[in-house]
A and B are shown apart, each in its own frame.
Chain A
Amino acid sequence: MNVLFTWLDWLWVAAFLLLMIGSGVLFYRLGRRSQSDFFLAGRGLPWWLPASSVYATHTATDTPMWITGIIYRHGLAGIWYTFFSAWAAISAFVSTRIFRRSLAYTQAEWNVVRFTGLGAEMLRGWMAGWQVFMNMFVLGWVGIAMGKVCAFLFGWPLWVGLVSFSSVCAVYVLAAGYWGVVMADFQQGVIAFLVIMIVSIWGIMTAGGPTGIVEKLTILGETDRLNPFAFTGWWTGEFPAAWFVTMMVIAILGGFGMGTSIDWYPEAQRIQSARTVRDASYSIWWGTLVGLVRNSVWAVAILGFFVLFPGMTETAEYEMGWFRLGFDYLPVGMVGFFFAAILAIHLSTISSHLNLGALYATRDLYQHYWNPEASERTLVWVGRWSTLILLLGSFVYGLMMENITEWLIFALWIMTAGIWLPNILQVIWWRFNAWGYLSAWIANLGFSWLVVWILPEFGVIPELLDYQQFWLLMLLGVGVFIPVTLLTKPEPMDHLVKYYVQARPLGWWGPVRREAERRGLIQPDASPRRALSQS
């Protein structure tokens, strides 16, 4: 479809782009002051600013496509696919609190706060490189989604939408760094939330309102789509209850760890940019809650889209459903406003990943391994150059994305399945060490290849559903990282005590706590339960 824009539509788009670039210019002086300002806004933000950034960053151009796809396929029960972000429920009060107290700029840097020696340095280098790559990949992925939206709307070649809007975004990220990102995210978050509500409710009303949707689904014989727990059986079918239970475990218990979700990495930056531990916790909690509410609104709008267009079989066609609700049904003059909101959604994600990738490149690679004595001015400039390189790299990734998507989804899976448990253990178990964590990463690389591709290909095991792969990979990993941890030395007690006193982690830290108490660094716990356990 080619949408015809009036002068009023283009006015919305131009005004919005000026607003975004303007925020970069306004905060230029703050962003250039130091590395801490360029990447963490000086660690001084009240909770609602990083919260809006959490929400805005995780509302990307491809998010409505993905959610539309699963709701169109599975009905309301598909909403639980989006529940993975609920890791923030527990994290806000556990791992967010611990991570904020570590003060590490990045998850890679946290490795050398928690662990020490060669193992910790290897982890830092690996994680920093991986995150630079991952951010470039996400930029390409989200950028090409924008290319597809522009191709759908205006008939532009894919590269035009990819290159043009990411480049506009880079202007304020290069100028003001994280200050520009978070201030623009606030505006973008508000605009995106309002427009998502308007378009979704407009779509619901167009489909006949809530009553009309229920009636039409009944006529179509599709009432199961209204049931949020309509699974295909306990163990059978493509959408079993066992999958739902696995998702709940991954999402909810994952909050005890760090890095149990890919979203942890951008969130870690927002956590450190908050001015206090309390602000950090609330920013993660509220930012995620708004995202979950948004998903629910989207889900019902897509049920409306389904009753309007029930017969679609091509994924590429029905994935554009939510966009069609806006472009097909909004009145003239509002279409440009809708497109401006899509730009808001797009720019907020692009800006966050540009700055985050540059943070890993600057702090963990350039400063730590190349130029430890670099001045603040140099570090800000390295941050800018890194941003530019990430931008250019994302164009290349975006344009070759069709060919490499399968490989990269596999790479994401590697990050989730086999290291989910180690990501928790590193937070809650004092004895878990750098070698155990490193072995988990390496073992997971091999096991993932075997379980996902090689063994099913040779008929050794059947092709497993994704939730089955998760449990199998976790069990196989346990067989490696637990022995490695127990057969290698624990981290030095001096280092652990220093970490414990600063971060106060939850879990099995008894020997370290007692040592800290013996050294007089913290007061002994006089609770009856502790007294009983010590007797």
Chain B
Amino acid sequence: MPLVRRTWTAEEADKWTREDGFAIALSPICYFGLTLGVALCLLLRWEGFAISAVSIALIVWMHWIIDPKMKAISEEYEKNQQGYLRDLEDSVRWKQHEQDAP
């Protein structure tokens, strides 16, 4: 089994998996790196260019990992959205107790 999975069924994508873990770990590193890297770049420090380059590479990698899963989640969820919106509108009108429990 590959380290990163890039094809998903809707049911599988709905679960929290290793790919989410990668995104959660990489994302703050990218933010930290670019905040620091850009400032140092503007001072013409070589560390700034190195940190920025690594951060950009990590951003690309993170999206490569998580994007197929985000697409699968979104497509599946859109199918159910109208029903959920109807529930929400009932709720704001105090009608939620009239619905059957799942």
**What is the interface of chain A, defined by CB distance below 8 A to chain B?**
76, 79, 82-83, 86, 88-90, 92-94, 97, 101, 103-104, 109, 112-113, 204, 210-211, 213-214, 226, 228, 252, 255, 276-279, 281-282, 285, 288-289, 292-293, 295-297, 299-300, 303, 363, 367-368, 372-373, 494, 497-498, 501-502, 504, 506, 516, 519, 521-523, 525
Contacts and interface: CB of A to CB of B under 8 A. Distances in A.
Contacts of B37: 296
Nearest to B22: A93
Contacts of A97: 73
Which of B36, B44, B80 has its CB near the most chain A CB atoms (within 10 A)?
Answer: B36
A113 B91 contact: yes
Contacts, number: 125
**Most chain B CB within a 10 A radius of its CB, from A94, A101, A278:** A278
A20 B16 CA distance: 42
Interface of B: 11, 14-16, 20, 23-24, 27-28, 30-32, 34-40, 42-44, 66-67, 70-71, 73-74, 77-78, 80-81, 84-85, 88, 91-94, 101-102
B97 to A, nearest CB: 9
B43 A278 contact: no
Contacts of A210: 42-44
A498 B42 contact: no
Contacts of B16: 504, 506
A519 B101 CA distance: 11
A432 to B, nearest CB: 18
Interface residues of A, dominant DSSP: helix
A364 to B, nearest CB: 9
Contact of A295 (B35, B92, B93): B35
Contacts of A521: 102
Contacts of B42: 204, 210, 296-297, 300
Dominant SS at the B interface? Answer: helix
B14 A214 contact: no
Given A86-B31, A93-B24, A293 B44 contact: no
B70 A292 contact: no
Given A86-B28, A278-B70, A504-B14, 9 more contacts: A86-B31, A86-B32, A113-B91, A204-B42, A293-B34, A296-B39, A300-B42, A498-B102, A523-B11
Contacts of A278: 67, 70-71, 73-74
Nearest to A519: B102
Contact of A277 (B34, B74, B84, B85): B74
Given A210-B43, A299-B39, A521-B102, A109 B92 contact: yes
A116 B92 CA distance: 13
A292 B34 contact: yes
Contact of A498 (B15, B77, B80, B101): B101
A278 B75 CA distance: 9
Given A292-B34, A498-B101, A226 B43 contact: yes
Nearest to B12: A523
Contacts of A504: 14-16
Contacts of B39: 76, 79, 228, 296-297, 299-300
A93 B77 contact: no
Contacts of B11: 522-523
B92 A367 contact: yes
Contacts of A89: 27-28, 30-31
